[in-house]
A = this chain, B = another copy of it.
Amino acid sequence: MNLTESDLAEIDAARGQSATTRRATVPALEAMLFTPVPVLDHGFVRVIDYMGDDAAVVQAARVSYGRGTRKVSEDEGLIRYLMRHRHSTPFEMCEIKFHVKLPIFVARQWIRHRTANVNEYSGRYSVMDREFYIPAPEHLAAQSASNRQGRGEVLEGAEAESVLALLREDAERNYAHYEAMLNEGGADPDRRGLARELARMNLTLNAYTQWYWKTDLHNLFNFMSLRGDAHAQYEIRVYADAMLAMTRAWVPASCRAFEDYRLGAAQFSATMLAVLRRMLGGEVVEQAASGLSKREWSEMMAMLE
């Protein structure tokens, strides 16, 4: 994470500002506000703004002045109930805005979450940064033999060295050519400079971009559930993990309910439930007689371990 002096000064200035508000305020998140948390080699996530807290979820679920709505339970009980029964709209009443620096190939996965607001740094308008993601040696994984979209063991020795060298050299060479084609400031008086919107196509997919990304708590949970999952690519999972830590500070009760009922939960199909009932009845069930495919069987066994 390479921030310039002026970037750091801007962050300090933002952190130094202070105002009085009647709005719901969360001191634990205020403490984190604006500070970038490093992710990968040059990326980061930082919270820029937020709206609401755990109480806002409860307040929206009840709607104020509601005659007939007595406080049947503690707030956390209501939050857990809402999460368990998929009443998602109260969680939509909280909103958060992040500033994220991330490799382009990660951005391409991330943007698939459509219920969010995004402003990305524009390579048509501005010059892209000279920063690329190069995996740490321990994340330089071989193709998985069993899972077409997964990773196997870590590459080692000469192959690892050669891969890292190729990634680094290609990214740097392509960036140098990008700069040459741009000819910003007329460095080479014999060139007119290629349009930025064209030159950027020479960059590699591990080049870093950045954006403002804003979403509501329900859709943030969806994001963290899908991208924090073991099947997600490591390079996006680390962003989901960093955001989970921030979400815990922001809405602790909602986040506990999310971790219990969704992140740590498991879904059993109708067929799996039938197997489960036989097992709980004391029967020894084998895959062949379970009605499940081998793959489903092993997925079910994994859920029970």
Contacts and interface: CB of A to CB of B under 8 A. Distances in A.
Interface in A185-241: 190-198, 200-206, 210-212, 214, 216, 226, 231, 233
A69 B126 contact: yes
Contact of A192 (B25, B107, B159): B159
A93 interface: yes
Given A49-B23, A119-B93, A174-B170, A201 B206 contact: yes
Contacts of A71: none
A191 B159 contact: yes
A119 B141 contact: no
B194 A68 contact: no
Name the residue in A20, A190, A214 with the highest tally of chain B Cβ atoms < 10 Å from its Cβ: A214
B304 A277 contact: yes
B49 A195 contact: no
A165 B171 CA distance: 17
A49 B60 contact: no
Contact of A174 (B124, B174, B277): B174
A119 B63 contact: yes
Nearest to A194: B163
B194 A143 contact: yes
Contact of A67 (B64, B129, B140, B205): B129
17 contacts: A3-B65, A21-B30, A52-B97, A61-B119, A67-B129, A86-B226, A89-B118, A93-B119, A111-B112, A112-B118, A140-B194, A143-B182, A149-B197, A150-B195, A155-B194, A263-B270, A273-B304
Given A89-B117, A149-B197, 4 more contacts: A93-B117, A201-B204, A266-B273, A267-B267
